[in-house]
């Protein structure tokens, strides 16, 4: 069962990062979390540049850069306290964003890492894309990528499932992070050998019968999967769509616009990781929803 009692919130102190900070504050309210940290990672070479400008030692420049960044963090933490009634500690680090965020999450044993979908000076890229992808692969804690301005708790959650233990963990996390939300469980059904059947000129009726049987089996499996979660009276929907996981998840998200997509990260093989990695990247880069990635 997932709990979200210890949060790490990574920020670059930009306007876009305020969305992630606000969502983290809402989650702290919802889950009665009083253990959270606001982290910013500055460019590794910043103290050296500052030392040359000031004609001072690296130590002095590092202390000054840390103090300046710390003051900016403290101001944002105070705003969150005033707006949401939550308390966050502040931490400043220097280096590459993804490794530093992962290292700090490990040190804190964070239950959830929260980052914004776009960065400014916090990232070398204009978009978070590469950093989010690295975090999704490296982070041992659940990773929440926030894109939208939050106004309330998540109301509509999409959970793609393939009936694996990884997707079960994702489903459990979805149930835990927003207890009042409606959850849609989506299964992408790949009908193997259908292409070869077409190539062999198998009749349309036989192919349709083959598809129908595969659909019925997947539907039964999906019902068993949900039942095993013991969801109680939760509002939920079930959807099975023919196709590859990446396009199915992307198209469904674009059509239904869920507040949050929750994905399980596979760890069984390099191929499985590559396939899910593409689904994760598509969800982050090509949908408008927030994305929660659950590690295997």
42 φ/ψ angles, rounded to the nearest 5 degrees: -95, 160
d(CA 89, CA 77): 8
Is the pLDDT at 18 greater than 60, yes or no?
yes
| Cα 24-289-11 angle, rounded to 5 deg | 35
Q: How far apart, in Å, are the Cα atoms of 280 and each of 14, 86, 258, 287?
A: 24, 30, 15, 10
Phi and psi torsions of 258, nearest 5°: -70, 155
Lowest mean pLDDT among 36-45, 49-58, 136-145, 265-274: 265-274
Mean pLDDT in residue range 76-104: 95
Please state, in angstroms and rounded to a whole number, the distance separating the CA atoms of residues 80 and 85.
7
pLDDT higher than 60, residue 80: yes
Whole-model pTM: value is 0.87
The percent of residues above 70 in pLDDT, for the chain, comes to: 84
Parallel/antiparallel/unpaired status of strands 156-160 and 260-264 = parallel
- 277 three-class SS: helix
Residue 244: the pLDDT is 87
Task: Give, for 146, the enclosing helix (H) or strand (E).
Answer: strand 143-146
Among 170, 112, 118, 187, which Cα is nearest to 147's? 118
Whether the pLDDT of residue 72 is over 70: the answer is yes
Q: Which residue has the tokens 């944002």?
A: 76
Is pLDDT at 193 greater than 70 in this prediction?
A: no
Q: Give the chain's mean pLDDT.
A: 85
Mean pLDDT of 234-243: 92
**288 three-state secondary structure:** coil
Give the mean model confidence (pLDDT) for residues 91-103. 93
How many Cβ atoms from other residues are within 10 Å of residue 52's Cβ? 11
> Which residues are paired to 242 by β-bridges?
189
Question: Residue 175: is its pLDDT beyond 70?
Answer: yes
Which residue pairs from 209-213 have beta carbons closer than 8 angstroms and sit at least 24 positions apart in sequence? 211/242
State the pLDDT confidence band at 267, using cuts at 50, 70 and 90: low
Across the range 153-173, mean pLDDT stands at 95
The confidence score (pLDDT) of residue 127 equals: 37
Domains by residue range for the chain, with CATH: 6-146 (3.40.50.620), 156-294 (3.40.50.620)
Retrieve residue 67's tokens.
């103090």
Alpha helices (H) along 55-115: 58-84, 97-108
Query: How many Å apart are CA 294 and CA 166, to the nearest integer?
Result: 8
The predicted-structure confidence for 114-137, as pLDDT tens digits, reads as follows 998 764 444 334 334 467 777 878
Question: If we measure between CA atoms, which residue out of 269, 254, 42, 6 comes closest to residue 140?
Answer: 6
């Amino acid at each position: 069962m997932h709990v979200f009692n210890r949060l790490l919130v990574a920020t670059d102190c930009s306007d876009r990062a305020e969305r992630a900070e606000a969502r983290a504050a809402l989650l702290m309210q919802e889950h009665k979390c009083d253990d959270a940290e606001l982290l910013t990672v500055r460019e590794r070479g910043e103290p050296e540049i500052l030392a040359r400008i000031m004609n001072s030692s690296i130590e002095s420049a590092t202390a000054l850069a840390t103090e300046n960044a710390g003051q900016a963090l403290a101001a944002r933490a105070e705003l969150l306290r005033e707006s949401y009634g939550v308390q966050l500690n502040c931490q400043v680090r220097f280096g590459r964003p993804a490794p530093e965020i992962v290292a700090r999450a490990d040190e804190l044993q964070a239950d959830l890492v929260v980052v914004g979908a776009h960065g400014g000076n916090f990232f070398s890229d204009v978009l978070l894309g590469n950093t989010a992808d690295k975090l999704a692969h490296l982070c041992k804690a659940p990773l929440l990528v926030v894109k939208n301005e939050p106004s309330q708790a998540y109301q509509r959650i999409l959970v793609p499932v393939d009936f694996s233990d990884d997707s079960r963990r994702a489903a459990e996390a979805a149930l835990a992070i927003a207890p009042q939300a409606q959850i849609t469980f989506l299964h992408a059904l790949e009908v193997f050998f259908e292409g070869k059947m077409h190539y062999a000129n198998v009749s349309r009726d036989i192919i349709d019968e083959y598809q129908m049987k595969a659909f019925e089996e997947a539907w039964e499996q999906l019902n068993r999967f949900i039942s095993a979660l013991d969801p109680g009276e939760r509002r939920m929907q079930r959807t099975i769509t023919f196709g590859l996981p990446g396009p199915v998840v992307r198209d469904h998200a674009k059509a239904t616009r869920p507040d949050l997509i929750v994905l399980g990260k596979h760890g069984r093989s390099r191929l499985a990781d590559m396939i899910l990695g593409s689904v994760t990247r598509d969800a982050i880069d090509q949908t408008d929803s927030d994305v929660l990635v659950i590690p295997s």
